[in-house]
């Protein structure tokens, strides 16, 4: 999308300098209006919503600080750049504190101003984009604690909306860290049972005999150490939801007992002769392939069908990369606000300096790395990566590639080939690959001043391999 021309107000009392700047800014695509006094600038600002104001600090009459103040008061998003004479840097810093984006000191090269201008515009664009992403986070792309904008996640949100209302048993499958437990909680909190308890039991974390006692409870004297009568998780979850995690680890004996609960909605506490009735909704989760376990006869087929009434599958994060930027925003917000919370609890913030969360963004390059990485640990691993990055970013306002672990940093380099247009007539594959090899080698040699040893290390090639490739490639160098 071609960007619209930016409207710029240039305030400078030295006419020759002003005219020269206006001309060059015009050549760079800016639509420039000029003002030679602060008074005139205020009038122009009152009538027109400029994108940018560049103002000299020292002006006869109303000075640059006032011009900037009035511009910002009218247009909070305006980009303000201060031009100052030698010796007034302190005033310029003051202006930045009041909301100017940058300053340049006279005498300056035009490129210096242009650079300040472009990076200020880029900053403003990022700010707007982050604000946009944040507003989306609040709107369509979430369901309870779940975030996502990929088609798979949006379909999931619709499904969750409908299945929450029912009481049917649900089986949630997906790799580790894909959000199975978040899904289970989201269903509970969106169901008519939300006022009752959500009880979670990880079947993989406890030995079989304990699991049975945990699930069903026991009466006094049921086994050695059973001092009193104790409610099991099933009873605790009565009228609410029972979340059975890692269901694939259940022993055959427990599988049978669970099947009965699902069928009859009743059970006995261990050692009890009395049957207890329960009304629970069961949500089970697993990262193993239950269907395969059924085929191998390690998981009961009848139980599988009882659980799998409504199957919900969470795709791995690498198959829904579109969710990554949104998740990153979400975790940045989470960890930067935790950070300020922690700071506040340690000591009182100085007067007038409220402890506010850093408004953290992320560089496009760092985001590219995150999107190229395969995430074997899925969302949980991404969450940990962002927590680490926030901690490493110190007081900065932007996460950089260097805040990521080396394997994530490298991900974008081993990513896909550069965007190749595949024309109707096709391409010459070998020639294309040769071309890429040649390019990489040329760049490595350029970077190392022609040193083949260093170049081969940069490319992680043996020196002899590099030399061989050079020999093979050189005749084609001109092609
Ligand atoms: N779509 C999502 N939006 C926001 N946070 C998510 C999402 N998916 C997962 N998370 C977060 O990732 C972490 C892991 O999620 P969860 O514990 O639900 O994974 P899991 O599938 O149960 O993993 P495991 O199989 O290892 O138990 C949690 O901190 C959760 O908050
Ligand atoms: Mg889990």
The pick from 147, 173, 178, 182 for probing ligand 1's pocket by mutation, whose C-beta has the most ligand atoms within 8 angstroms, reads 182
pLDDT digits (tens, 9 = 90+) for 387-397: 999 999 987 88
Question: Ligand 1 centre and the CA of 60: distance in Å?
Answer: 61
- Nearest ligand to the CA atom of 244: 2
CA of 317 to the centre of ligand 1 (A): 11
Distance separating alpha carbons of residues 81 and 120, to the nearest angstrom? 8
**What is the average pLDDT score of the chain?**
86
> How far is 272 from 196, CA to CA, in rounded Å?
26
For residue 1, the model assigns a pLDDT of 41
- Per residue in 156-194, pLDDT (tens digit) is 998 898 888 888 899 999 999 999 999 999 999 999 999
Nearest Cα neighbor of 179 from 282, 280, 287 is 287
CA 208 remoteness from chain centre: 39
Name the DSSP class of 149. Answer: -
What separation in angstroms does the CA of 446 have from each of 115, 295, 363, 417, 461?
Answer: 26, 59, 27, 21, 16
- Nearest by Cα to 241 from 290, 288, 284: 284
Q: What is the pLDDT of residue 307?
A: 93
Residue ID of nearest Cα to ligand 1 atom 12 = 380
Confidence bin at 9 (pLDDT 50/70/90): very high
Q: How far apart are CA 92 and CA 102, in angstroms?
A: 8
pLDDT at residue 449, rounded to an integer? 87
Find the 337 Cα to ligand 1 centroid distance in Å.
Answer: 20
Q: Could you tell me which residue, 5 or 320, shows the higher pLDDT?
A: 320
Question: What pLDDT does 479 receive?
Answer: 41
Nearest CA to ligand 1 atom 13: 380
CB of 248 within 8 A of CB of 288? yes
pLDDT of residue 475: 58
CA-to-CA distance for 242 and 17, rounded, in angstroms? 75
The count of C-alpha atoms lying within 13 angstroms of the C-alpha of 357, restricted to the half-sphere facing its C-beta, is 14
Measured in angstroms, how far is the CA atom of residue 282 from the centroid of ligand 1?
19
How far apart CA 322 and CA 373 sit, in angstroms, is: 13
CB atoms within 10 A of CB 461: 17
Between CA 82 and CA 100 the distance in angstroms is 7
Q: Identify the nearest ligand to the CA of 314 by its number.
A: 1
In the predicted model, what is the mean pLDDT of residues 333-338? 88
Residue-wise pLDDT for 46-91, tens only, equals: 888 888 999 999 899 999 999 999 998 888 778 999 998 766 677 7
What's the pLDDT tens digit per position in 80-122? 999 987 666 777 778 888 888 888 888 888 998 998 898 888 7
Protein residue whose Cα sits closest to atom 28 of ligand 1: 380
For residue 147, give the ligand 1 atom closest to its CA. Answer: 3
Phi, psi of 29 (to 5 degrees): 90, 5
* Residue 217: its H or E element: strand 217-218
Helices (H) and strands (E) in the chain, counts: 19, 18
Name the residue with the closest Cα to ligand 1, atom 29: 380
At 129 the three-state DSSP class reads helix
Query: In this predicted structure, what is the pLDDT of residue 417?
Result: 54
What is the structure's pLDDT at 337?
A: 84
438 pLDDT higher than 70: yes
Task: Say whether 439 sits in a helix, a strand or coil.
Answer: helix
Contact between residue 178 and residue 317 where contact means Cβ atoms under 8 Å apart: yes
Share of residues in the chain with pLDDT > 70 (%):
89
pLDDT digits 0-9 by tens, 411-432:
876 544 555 567 777 888 888 7
Which pLDDT value is given to residue 162?
86
Query: Checking DSSP bridges between strand 142-143 and strand 79-84, what pairing results, if any?
Result: unpaired
Ligand 1 atom at minimum distance from 383 CA:
12
- What's the confidence (pLDDT) of residue 17? 93
Read off the pLDDT band of 284 (50, 70, 90): very high
Query: 276: helix, coil or strand?
Result: strand
pLDDT at 305 over 60: yes
CA atoms of 164 and 185, how far apart (whole Å): 10
Q: Which atom of ligand 1 is nearest to the CA of 180?
A: 21
* Atom of ligand 1 minimally distant from the CA of 382: 12
- Residue 458, pLDDT > 90, answer no
Ligand 1, residues at Cβ distance < 6 Å: 145-148, 174, 176-182, 287, 327, 379-380, 383
pLDDT at 346: 40
351 pLDDT higher than 50: no
Q: Which of 147, 177, 283, 287 to mutate to test the pocket of ligand 1 (most atoms within 8 A of CB)?
A: 177
The total of other beta-carbon atoms located within 10 Å of residue 321's CB is 14
| Mean pLDDT within 424-445 | 82
Separation of alpha carbons 19 and 1, rounded Å: 31
**Dihedral sign computed on CA atoms, order 155, 156, 159, 165:** negative
Question: Which of 85, 46, 42, 91 has its CA nearest to residue 67?
Answer: 42
**Which atom belonging to ligand 1 lies closest to the Cα atom of 181?**
18
Q: Over the stretch 226-281, which tens digit does the pLDDT of each residue have? A: 888 889 999 999 999 999 999 999 999 999 999 999 999 999 999 999 999 999 99
| Ligand nearest the Cα atom of residue 380 | 1
User: What does the DSSP 8-state code read for residue 270?
Assistant: B
What lies within 8 Å, CB to CB, of 32 at 6+ separation is 8, 9, 10, 22, 25, 26
For residue 346, give both structure tokens. 């340690």
CA 122 – CA 398 distance, rounded (Å): 13
Give the helix, strand, coil percentages of the chain, each rounded to 5.
50, 15, 35
Q: Which atom of ligand 1 has the smallest separation from the CA of 146?
A: 3
pLDDT at 478: 43
For atom 9 of ligand 1, the residue with the nearest CA is 179
Best residue for ligand 1 mutational test, from 179, 290, 316 (most atoms within 8 Å of Cβ): 179
Residue of 380, 381, 382, 384 to test ligand 1 pocket, by largest number of atoms within 8 Å of CB: 380
Rounded to the nearest angstrom, the distance between the alpha carbon of 173 and the centre of ligand 1 is 12
- For residues 125-148, b (16+ Cβ closer than 10 Å) or e, as one string? eeeeebeebbebbeeebbbbebbb
């Amino acid at each position: 999308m071609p960007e619209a021309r930016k409207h710029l107000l240039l305030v400078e009392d030295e006419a020759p300098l002003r005219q020269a700047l206006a001309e060059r800014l015009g050549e760079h695509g800016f639509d420039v209006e000029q003002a030679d006094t602060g008074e005139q600038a205020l009038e122009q600002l009152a009538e027109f919503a400029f994108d940018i104001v560049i103002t000299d600090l020292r002006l006869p009459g109303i000075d640059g600080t006032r011009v900037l103040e009035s511009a910002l008061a009218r247009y909070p998003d305006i980009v303000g750049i201060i031009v100052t004479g030698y010796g007034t840097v302190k005033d310029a810093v003051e202006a930045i504190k009041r909301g100017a984006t940058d300053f340049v000191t006279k005498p300056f090269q035009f490129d210096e101003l242009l650079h300040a201008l472009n990076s200020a515009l880029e900053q403003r664009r990022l700010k707007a984009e982050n604000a946009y992403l944040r507003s989306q986070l609040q709107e369509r792309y979430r369901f309870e604690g779940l975030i996502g904008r990929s088609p798979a996640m949006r379909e999931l949100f619709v499904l969750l909306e409908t299945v929450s209302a029912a009481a049917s048993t649900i089986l949630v499958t997906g790799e580790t860290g894909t959000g199975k437990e978040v899904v289970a909680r989201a269903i509970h909190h969106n169901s008519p049972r939300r006022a009752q308890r959500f009880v979670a039991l990880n079947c993989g974390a406890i030995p079989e005999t304990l699991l049975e006692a945990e699930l069903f409870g026991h009466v006094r004297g049921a086994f050695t150490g059973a001092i009193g009568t104790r409610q099991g998780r099933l009873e605790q979850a009565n009228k609410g939801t029972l979340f059975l995690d890692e269901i694939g680890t259940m022993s055959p004996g427990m599988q049978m007992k669970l099947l009965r609960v699902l069928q009859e909605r009743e059970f006995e506490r261990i050692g009890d002769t009395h049957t207890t009735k329960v009304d629970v909704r069961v949500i089970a989760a697993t990262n193993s392939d239950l269907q395969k376990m059924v085929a191998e006869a390690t998981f009961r087929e009848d139980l599988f069908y009882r659980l799998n009434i409504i199957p919900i599958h969470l795709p791995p994060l690498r198959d829904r990369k579109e969710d990554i930027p949104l998740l990153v925003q979400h975790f940045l917000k989470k960890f930067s606000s935790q950070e300020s919370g922690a700071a506040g609890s340690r000591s009182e913030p100085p007067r007038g300096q409220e402890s506010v969360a850093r408004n953290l963004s992320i560089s496009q390059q760092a985001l590219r790395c995150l999107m190229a990485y395969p995430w074997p640990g899925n969302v949980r691993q991404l969450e940990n990566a962002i927590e680490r990055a926030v901690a490493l970013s110190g007081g900065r306002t932007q996460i950089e590639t260097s805040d990521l672990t080396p394997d994530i940093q490298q991900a974008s380099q081993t990513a896909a080939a550069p965007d190749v247009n595949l024309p109707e007539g096709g391409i010459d594959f070998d020639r294309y690959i040769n071309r890429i090899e040649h390019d990489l080698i040329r760049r490595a040699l350029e970077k190392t001043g022609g040193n083949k040893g260093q170049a081969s290390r940069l490319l992680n090639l043996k020196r002899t391999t590099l030399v061989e490739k050079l020999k093979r490639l050189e005749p084609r160098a001109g092609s």
